[in-house]
Amino acid sequence: MSNPVVLIAEELSPATIDALGPDFEIRQCDGADRAELLEAIADADAILVRSATQVDLEALEAAKRLKVVARAGVGLDNVDVKAATQHGVMVVNAPTSNIVSAAELAVALMLAAARHVSPAHAALRNGEWKRSRYTGIELYEKTVGIVGLGRIGVLVAQRLSAFGMRVIAYDPYVQAGRAAQMGVRLVSLEELVAESDFMSVHLPKTPETVGLISDEQLRKAKPHLVLVNAARGGIVDEEALFEALSEGRIGAAGLDVFAKEPCTDSPLFALENVVATPHLGASTDEAQEKAGIAVARSVRLALSGELVPDAVNVQGGVIAEDVRPGIPLTEKLGRVFTALAGEVAQQVDVEVRGEITQYDVKVLELAALKGVFCDVVEEQVSYVNAPLLAAERGVAVRLVTEAESPDHRNLITIRGTLGDGSQVSVSGTLIGIAQRERLVEVDGFAVDIEPTDHLGFFRYEDRPGMVGTVGRVLGDAGINIAGMQVCRDEKGGHALVALSVDSAIPHEALEEIRTSIAAVEVRSVDLTD
């Protein structure tokens, strides 16, 4: 039998090929040349890419033997993960390969902005010696606010602590005790903006975080604030940032990411108090080597049929066929759980009931944690780091199995206890020969709804007219309802509207619903990748 074919479509670190070993036939092509790629991928078992090669539906359909797509880096914008999943092709990346490089760049931007390195360098190249014009500020004994205390945020906090800075942070998914162990004080976003001399953003880009650092927030800042965003473009409102910098309401900014990329023309680039780089967070020799080695190892695991921890869509390894369909459902349940909780849980139980408990269902616990943390940390969440993320945040995790399942053939529940002692739960099952995904319980309310890309949950005191009000508000906002269910705990008690919609519900519509029906709780869930 011939060795599996591994296609390398872009220039990678030599260590990548060394990590693959001698068991594969290594071929190379120019992934940016479309015709060459489509011809070369036809009989490849695996393909390794960086960012220039588009692995889309056309490429996947041309690849008759393809089992795994490996992106030597973090981002997956050039890989159609959904199409790969439909074709049974595993997608892997290197989620932690660049965290040190990204953290160091954030610190570099902070120092450069604080000391006016960019404009001073430009002036000197133009033959100008302007020492007095570019007087900067020290980091020592200043307060730095870290927005997002994930792995990169923690690395930045550690490095800035060494500069003698006081570190505060905003992250609703980190417990105060855990932050205190790192010498970090947790505060609200408003407090962080008001207290900080320096700010560094380290959040994932989600519908909730887009525009999080807005004009409203920037108006609370100190006039000498230095703001750094080396996380994701769009989290900082660029128009509001430009106005704040132009008007002298904040001091300077360091930017590595932008709302639309590539970005070569922005009003921000004309400001002397802005230092900007073209998304260089992962652009170090060390990060590229780590990424290449990581995905090479994943390819070896995938092609040998073993569990691949860094797979972002389907999992390989010894997982029972009856368990596999529950993996994507469980990950979705984790994401719904996080949206409903709105904060980090102190205890998370992953409960699995029914026939599948005769198999090893440990993978469902990992899938649940992957979903729980998917939308709250900046780094890519995998089966390897999800338990570590839980441990870092002081979250106790327990897998509970029970062979008896009275109402469903199999039932998966994620149940968590929050800081105030309240509980959040969400349950799902697979129905029919097609194994269709259904949400069947939310916070004790029995529901039956498909977990589509966009969901909404509104809890209120049971009384007439509320469903019509919800429909009117969504209609006025141009949101089409795909499915809706109303349930209640008792007549005149609490009621829950659970619905799936065709597009994300705007924040303004959510607030109008909250006010109009005097809702106890209003939550939206975005399950898009």
Question: Using H for helix, E for strand and C for coil, what is the string for 64-98?
Answer: CCCCEEEECCCCCCCECHHHHHHCCCEEECCCCCC
Q: Mean pLDDT over residues 221-237, rounded? A: 97
Domains 1-94+282-318 and 99-276 share a fold: yes
- What confidence tier does 314 reach under pLDDT thresholds 50, 70, 90? low
Q: Average model confidence (pLDDT) for the chain?
A: 92
- Find the mean pLDDT for residues 241-269: 96
pLDDT of res. 417: 93
Residues 422-451: what's their mean pLDDT?
93
Lowest mean pLDDT, pick from 175-179, 336-340, 358-362, 492-496: 175-179
CATH of domain 1-94+282-318: 3.40.50.720
Beta strands at 5-8 and 481-488: parallel, antiparallel or unpaired: unpaired
d(CA 331, CA 226): 38
Question: What value does the mean pLDDT take over residues 74-93?
Answer: 86
Collect all residues with Cβ–Cβ distance below 8 Å to 231 and sequence separation of at least 6.
148, 152, 201, 202, 203, 204, 205, 257, 378
Question: How sure is the predictor about 315, in pLDDT bands with cuts at 50, 70 and 90?
Answer: low
Cα separation, 497 vs 516, in Å, equals 14
Nearest to 252 by CA among 196, 305, 326, 208: 196
Ramachandran quadrant class, 15 (left: phi over 0; alpha: psi -120 to 50; beta: rest): alpha
**Upper half-sphere CA count for residue 170 (Cβ side, 13 Å):** 20
The verdict on domain 99-276 having CATH code 3.40.50.720 is: yes
**pLDDT confidence tier of residue 204, bands split at 50, 70 and 90:** confident
Strand pairing partners for 411?
353
CA 60-63-69 angle, 5° bins? 65
Per-residue model confidence (pLDDT) at position 482? 92
* 347 pLDDT above the threshold of 90: yes
| First-residue to last-residue Cα distance in the chain | 38
Q: Would you say residue 416 has pLDDT above 70?
A: yes
Residue 46 has pLDDT above 60, yes or no: yes
- Residues 82-95 as b or e (16 or more Cβ within 10 Å = b): ebbbeeebbbbbbb
pLDDT tens digit sequence for 373-413: 988 887 767 766 788 889 888 899 999 999 999 899 999 99
- List the structure tokens of 385: 């780091």
The set of catalytic residues is 232, 261, 279
Q: What is the pLDDT of residue 313?
A: 76
Residue 316, pLDDT score:
60
Q: Average pLDDT in the 138-149 region?
A: 97
* pLDDT tens-digit readout, 272-302: 999 999 999 989 999 999 999 999 999 998 8
Whether the per-residue pLDDT at 320 is higher than 80: the answer is no
What's residue 284's pLDDT?
94
Domain ranges of the chain: 1-94+282-318, 99-276
Using CA atoms, how far residue 248 sits from 86, 212, 243, in Å, is: 51, 20, 8
**Confidence check: pLDDT of 319 > 60:** yes
pLDDT band at 76; cut points 50, 70, 90:
confident
Q: How confident is the model at residue 164 (pLDDT cuts 50, 70, 90)?
A: very high
Residue 261, pLDDT above cutoff 60: yes
